[in-house]
Structure 1
């Protein structure tokens, strides 16, 4: 749909800053956002990236035509927030892209959280390290997400800082500060995931959700969002087919195995399933 997409006017946007990359030096980013754990929308951070030109029409020119695990669900929910269960089908990448381009898919489909390092040699050729992180001692994991309208991930938080880059199409993102955790009703078995359906909350079952403060906004191609560790986020493919890339700062989790061993077994399972999964 491109520029013809009509974007909604969402709430809480005044609670997050939107700045052009030229207005955010590495020093300012670290001082004003990274260290205070404040989210930020940055415009133009991906300018010049090879990946910034990716579309459904040309993506197969850059990524190999290997089999990928495509999640699909009639409800549009990426996985069940209670069980982590999801439906998936393996198919060649070119077949999946053809389904999206032609609209032949019968249910919402998502190539979700696929590690680019397992698809291409030296993914930094396409997705470089941002200037904000060039001097930081962090390993980055870059994942690609390719989906259709009608999809959403349950509200959850990450254990690592995250840059979310919109490459093609649009996404609607809803953030909640860590202080809102009580109103999000963390899953007792997997506390990093909320039991609340943010798009249609059941206030009889989850009354405290009404006291949480959502920060909702739409990201377009060229937008990058810094989502600090611990910030809850709900990401919805509301408008059109889309391609996104996220980068996790994995210093804590990839290099400190002793701390990783201390995570409760169910939470450790959820972490590995959501954030370190391989193509199936």
Structure 2
């Protein structure tokens, strides 16, 4: 019998006004029950899906179509690859938001729904004024706020580099989390050909094939799960794998991404991709040597790493700032163009 996920740690009765004092220090997943129950959108959704749609429509930019992902009923909400993994089981269309919302209401009573999923749509661009009416003070610098709208959906386990606070505004969601260390047990697909930009687990969580993916049982032993209703939120730390399910015929989620690092820092995935090109296929002894180099200069770097070099000539080994990052990018570009 497969291991069962444990619960995500829960916080109750957290005053939203106190979130900004606590959120920046969190490093492990948390469910915050009732965090945004005072949002007008949540109040509307509690009355009906129609009321929630009416609330969203009042902020619709009107001239910017959203990107809607659609899939046939037989996909059963799973946004994924097609059978041979050379393509996908969905298509994307540019559609006015009000058409998406009306279509979701139209299909809601149907027993077998085509999947409709508007993912990661920037609030300030597409729903100007929404954030002011449905406000939340996070206490972090420059969060990117997005909205996700759809019917029943299953989004394969994936990870994001930023920290993430996801708030359920309508419907219900089930979130299953895995620590970053479970990468080897989740059977991650291609890094450079993905359904939505991030590499995803190939395991179907609704029917895991433990013959093909036997280590997934070990991943489940480390999993954490929670079901969220309107007003609930979940904090997903950077790089935690998360499988997201929309459980109702109408679901709305608002999330905030942020990275508590200087803006000049590059995307870590770029370093991984370059490492695949430069290191992975070296002879084992040479890989071991480079592992020691990375440990010394990156993963265990401290104030002693370059202390023996005069400060004025430490170059890329000195403290980085915007100017230093620009210089380092220039060095990399020249090296890659050789």
Q: TM-score, normalised by structure 1?
A: 0.76
Partners of 2:87 and 2:35 in 1: CA distance: 33
Contact 2:41 2:134 survives alignment (8 Å): yes
> Of the candidates 233, 236, 246, which is equivalent to residue 242 of structure 2?
233
- Give the match for residue 175 of structure 2: 173
Give the superposed CA RMSD.
3.0
Unpaired runs of at least 5, structure 1: 1-10, 268-280
Note the C-alpha offset of 1:206.
Answer: 1.0
Q: Indicate the SS of the match to 1:101.
A: helix
Given candidates 54, 59, 62, the residue that maps to 1:57 is 54
Structure 2: state its 5+ residue gaps: 45-51, 193-197, 276-338
Closer/same/farther in 2, CA of residues 73 and 44 from structure 1, 3 Å limit: same
CA apart distance, 1:170: 0.7
Structure 2 counterparts to residues 93-242 of structure 1, below 5 A: 93-103=97-107, 107-121=114-128, 123-130=130-137, 133-134=138-139, 136=140, 138-149=141-152, 151-190=153-192, 192-212=199-219, 213=221, 214-242=223-251
State the alpha-carbon separation in 1 of the partners of residues 145 and 179 from structure 2.
24
Higher strand share: 1
Task: Give the Cα separation in 1 of the matches to 2:159 and 2:201.
Answer: 9
Q: 1:88 to 1:264 in 2, by over 3 A?
A: same
Deviations 1:159-206 (A, max 9, x none): 010000000111111111222222102224357422222222211111
Structure with higher Rg: it is: 2
**Contact 1:141 1:250 survives alignment (8 Å):** no
Using the TM superposition, give the Cα deviation of residue 255 of structure 1 relative to its aligned residue in structure 2, in angstroms: 1.2
Matched, 1:256 2:257: no
Q: CA deviation at 1:139?
A: 1.5
Kindly indicate whether the alpha-carbon contact (under 8 Å) linking 1:170 and 1:240 is maintained by their aligned counterparts in 2. no
Structure-2 change in CA distance of 1:67 and 1:205 (3 Å): same
Are the equivalent residues in 2 in contact too, given 1:12–1:216 (CA < 8 A)? yes
Q: Which residue of 2 aligns with 1:6?
A: none
Displacement of 1:111? 1.1
Partner Cα separation in structure 1 for residue 24 and residue 129 of structure 2: 27
Greater helix content: 2
